[in-house]
Structure 1
Amino acid sequence: MSFNDDEPIVAPPNSGPRPTPIVAGRVQLVSKNNREAPLEENTQKVMLELTGGDSTADRSGLDLVAVLDVSGSMQGEKIDKMKTAMQFVVKKLSTIDRLSIVTFSDAASRLCPLRQITDASKADLQGIVDGLKPGGNTNITDGLVTGLKVLADRKLSSGRVVGVMLMSDGQQNRGGDAAKVAISGNVPVYTFGFGSDYDPTVLNAVAKNSMGGTFSVVDDVGALSMAFSQCLAGLLTVVVQDLKLTVTRVEDESEIQKVTAGNYPQEEDAGSVTVSFGDLYSKEVRKVIVDLLLPAIESDRGADILEVTYSYKTNGKLFDAPPATVTVSRTGAVPGDSPADDPPVVQTEVARLKTVTMITEARAMADGQKLGDARDKLVEAQNGLEDVLEQSNPVVEMLRTELQQLLKLFRTQEVYNKQGRPYAMSSETSHARQRFAARGDIESMRMFATPRMDKYLEQAKKFDEDPETPLPSADDDVKEEIAANPLAPIAGPIAFYIQAAIQALQAIEKIITNGTKPN
């Protein structure tokens, strides 16, 4: 069966033209590194930060597929809370967005094609959600495959944002292994473990198999609307797609030893490394650490040590940023290198990465029934944070909160199996993606949350209390943000062109300086 019956996007009457996208300046690049390096052979860390722009006024439309578990275990409060969470999703979408609903139990059913969000379709979609009834087994694989096929078969796909939200409350007991389903292209799959009886290993693997997907833990059945809201807040604020960062060594000046960028795909090619990130949300940050080896030189001089460029797509248009160059002053006044010489912000990021590695090691120990060793590893991670110079950095405090919660969930093997393992897996994938994922207390653990996520969290809490309360659409949210910051749509492009002009002047100055040096 082909799912090429997706609805076209028809502009509503009197809607007026959509803003013309400004392609440049939708991502800001900043480098953090030492400004001086010794003359002797040494290693240096360069941290690159890519940050999504402020404005989503000209965002691309979203094609969202909700893949919902309606097996027998969803009976009662669970199905009611899922319906409320989906009503929140339907009400937040705008006319440029489309939604398809897929359910699974013994097998999967596509309940509707990708439908443009209009007043009429909202009523139809809400009716579909209200009519969901639980029963049968749990065939996650068929649900996932069907959801992916809905996106793959689209007639209208150019320039559109895509996403799959898959939730399940049970063990897969029909169909094949969902963890082995190939997920091609830049399709993020966001999985939600609902309640306490699902298999976190499967849902975690599904998210990891996709580009940018995360695994969220929703132990409290009353928190599903909040968890869905955080995912939706990201998908409705995608500022660029197919984001790629390329770092290239400078011949005779540096060698790239390692590029650390979570579990995003990397490609190496003749002295350069390209990292593919997929989509980037507004105000979302991707930090990349490049470890460089600098050769020994004989005398003081400036040195270009890394060339950086990035590209992305927005509304189907490709943008290639001009190269930026990272420089240092090689001088005999600087002693040999050591990790303590790295800038504090770089040390903090290194500490975060080390903490996540230790969480993964602790989970492996607990899976091997070595719970005491696992707890010791988590305590070791806590102690390691005491050495971070930036103790006031919010990241450090959130890491402490995370480790404290993990220690509670690693107190017995039974608690670990039920809650500790999924929490640790969600933590690992969240850190690897540098993207928010709900785990434990959604309100206290806000690592990687964006401003829109914070806003939607409050909206979801109020909606859960009274689903009849009017809910602003995504368009209303954008209008509110522009009213608070009217320059947001052009701030990024202006900053980009100013930075490009500065780099051009610096390049001219370098040419003039080098040209006037005596032979």
Structure 2
Amino acid sequence: MTFDDDVAAQDLSTEEEAITYEAGKTQLTIINQPEASLEETELKVLLELTGSGENEDRSPVDIVMVLDISGSMKEENRIGKLKIAMQFLIQKLSPIDRLSVVTFSTGSERLFQLRQITNDSQLEIIEKVNGLSAGGWTNMFDGLKTGVQVLKDRRFNRGRLGAIILMSDGDQTDRFGDARQVPVGIFAVHTFGFGSDAKPEVLKEIAEKSNGGTFSNVRDVNDLTKAFSQCLGGLLTVVVKDLNLTVTQFKDESTIKDVSAGNYPKTANDSSVTVSFGELYNSEVRLAMAYILLPKADEEKDPDVIKVAYNYSSGKGKQFKAPPVTANVNRRRTATVKEIPRLILEENRLRALNSVKEARVLADNSELERAKNVVDEAKNTLERVKVDDPTELIKTLIYELQQISDFMTTKDVYEKKGRSYAMSFETSHERQRYAARGDMDKVRSFATPRMNAYLDQAKKFDTDPSTPPPTEKEDLTKDPKPPIIEQPPAEPPFFITIFNQVLKFLDDLLKFITGHVELVGTKDDPPATRRTWIGRSRKADISLQQRGTHAERERRASGRARERNSRLDWRVQWSRMRGSWAGEEA
């Protein structure tokens, strides 16, 4: 079955388009120790890419909701909570977006094709969602396969972002197939484990195999609207797509040992490493830690050690390639090591992530005591960190490690709470992207300003679903304005560069022939204002004693003047020709 009946999204706005900043979508920051010793040493270089654009210039989004309506959704009124969460999501989309809903139980069904969000379609979609009822098995394989097919078969996909939101409250029924084997292609799949019975292993693996997807652990059934709002707050602020970061070493000055960037795809050759980050939300940050080996140096010097470049396409599809920049280090006999807060924070974040991954493996093997000790040791290490931390990263990490430690007290608690929480923690920190888990008011790592706003809106909507949430137009008026990052001047086309080089060569040649005279006026101007001597002809280097008598010198001077004026005419013509060509070129 094919699903090529998607409805094109028409531009319903009548207002003038907002100004866009094609060069201001991403900002690169390089952080490293300024000095290193002359001995062979490892240098850590932190590369930070920040999404910085206008949300009104975001990518239009095609979202396919893949929803579990199996029999277990009757418990705790989960199906009712799902309907409220869906109402919030539907009302937050704008006319440039499209939505389709796929449900799965024993089989799968597409409720409607990708439809543009208008006032009329919102009401129709909400009516269809409110008519859902729970029953049957959990054929997640067929549900995800259908959802992916809806996006693949789109006729209208140019410049549009495709994403899947998959929600399930239990384990998949094995006889239907393994959803982890469904190829999801280039699309992000954001998965949500709903309720205490959800099995996180499958959902986490599906998300991590996709392009930028995350796994959220929604243990409390009353939190689904808030969890959906955080995912939506990201999808509706995508300002960068296809973001790639390339790090290149300098021969004889450095060797790249590794570039740590979570579980994003990496490619490498003999001299460089490229990380593919995919989409970037507005105000979202991507970090890459480059581990550089500096060879032993015989003398003090200030070499460039790595070259960093990145490229992306904007929300509207325009391509941008940033000019490369370099990271420098001062090689000194006695190097001064400075305390750099941003480096310290990232090192501790990565250390905490690795500790949680190690502890989860131990806990999965029923070694709960050892697992708990690993987490507690990591928490104690963080408590000793004293550094400027404006984002309260360390405070949040300590809180989360304590949560994970508490969930490892018994096997039953770990099975119900610990594993899913730890997996959501891992996917969030591997992706460097917000994933809902636990107390969403306390855990805000990687949350963006729009996510924070949507969290408050979701709370109010859960209290009173009859009151619509703010529209996107209203959201835009409250968004913080990002700084404008100016685009470096573009390099001229190759043929213009060659043409200018030829002109310069001819100009230099003419200067040499005419005695190195540079005009500042015309031939009719007084000599003092007409030309400036910037060199001497070969004849001018002959001493006066070698030029004969006074009369002979005057005769020679008169002849040289006539000759010089003749050459001056050529010089004037040449300058005018150059001015004419330059005007045509401009």
Q: Using structure 2 for the length normalisation, give the TM-score.
A: 0.81
State the AA in 2 paired with 1:285.
Answer: V
State the AA in 2 paired with 1:49.
Answer: E
Q: CA deviation at 1:434?
A: 0.4
Contact 2:20 2:54 in 1 (8 A): no
User: Are 1:377 and 2:378 an aligned pair?
Assistant: no
Q: Which residue of the partner structure matches residue 427 of structure 1?
A: 425
Q: Which residue of the partner structure matches residue 464 of structure 2?
A: 466
Which residue among 449, 452, 460 is the counterpart of 2:450?
452
CA distance in 2, matches of 1:307, 1:389: 32
Contact 1:45 1:342 in 2 (8 A): no
Give CA deviations for 1:234-289 in whole Å, capped at 9, x if unaligned. 00011101111000001111100011000000000231000001110011111110
State the AA in 2 paired with 1:422.
Answer: S
CA distance in 2, matches of 1:42, 1:464: 55
Q: Which residue of the partner structure matches residue 493 of structure 1?
A: 485
Q: CA deviation at 1:392?
A: 4.2
User: Are 1:417 and 2:415 an aligned pair?
Assistant: yes
Q: CA deviation at 1:356?
A: 0.8
Q: CA deviation at 1:386?
A: 3.4
CA distance in 2, matches of 1:210, 1:392: 32
Q: CA deviation at 1:163?
A: 1.2
Indicate the percent of aligned positions where both proteins have the same amino acid.
48
SS of the residue 2:113 aligns to: coil
Matches within 5 A, 1:110-509: 110-173=110-173, 174-185=175-186, 187-314=187-314, 315-334=316-335, 343-390=340-387, 392=389, 394-481=392-479, 485=481, 488=482, 491-494=483-486, 496-497=487-488
Q: Which residue of the partner structure matches residue 545 of structure 2?
A: none
Contact 1:39 1:298 in 2 (8 A): yes
Q: Which residue of the partner structure matches residue 87 of structure 1?
A: 87
Contact 1:105 1:137 in 2 (8 A): yes
State the AA in 1 paired with 2:66.
Answer: V
Contact 1:246 1:308 in 2 (8 A): yes
Q: CA deviation at 1:301?
A: 1.7
User: Are 1:73 and 2:72 an aligned pair?
Assistant: yes
SS of the residue 1:397 aligns to: helix
Q: Which residue of the partner structure matches residue 63 of structure 2?
A: 64
CA distance in 2, matches of 1:479, 1:462: 19
Contact 1:33 1:342 in 2 (8 A): no
Q: CA deviation at 1:75?
A: 1.3
Structure 2 unaligned blocks of 5 or more: 492-586
**Do the aligned partners of residues 107 and 20 (structure 1) sit closer, same or farther apart at CA in structure 2, a change above 3 Å counting?**
farther
Corresponding pairs, count:
487
**Do the aligned partners of residues 295 and 342 (structure 1) sit closer, same or farther apart at CA in structure 2, a change above 3 Å counting?**
farther
Contact 2:169 2:194 in 1 (8 A): yes
Moved more, 41-50 or 384-393: 384-393
SS of the residue 2:57 aligns to: coil
Contact 1:236 1:474 in 2 (8 A): no
Contact 2:26 2:53 in 1 (8 A): no
Contact 1:344 1:389 in 2 (8 A): no
CA distance in 2, matches of 1:109, 1:133: 13
Give CA deviations for 1:477-512 in whole Å, capped at 9, x if unaligned. 11332xx64xx4xx3233x549x9xxxxxxxxxxxx
**CA RMSD of superposed structures (Å):** 1.7
- The 4+ residue runs of structure 1 with deviation greater than 4 A are none
Give CA deviations for 1:361-382 in whole Å, capped at 9, x if unaligned. 1111111111111111111111
CA distance in 2, matches of 1:423, 1:201: 11
Give CA deviations for 1:292-340 in whole Å, capped at 9, x if unaligned. 01112222221100100001111122111110111111121317xxxx7
Of structures 1 and 2, the larger Rg is shown by 2
Determine which structure has greater relative contact order: mean sequence separation of CA pairs < 8 Å that are 6+ residues apart, divided by chain length. 1
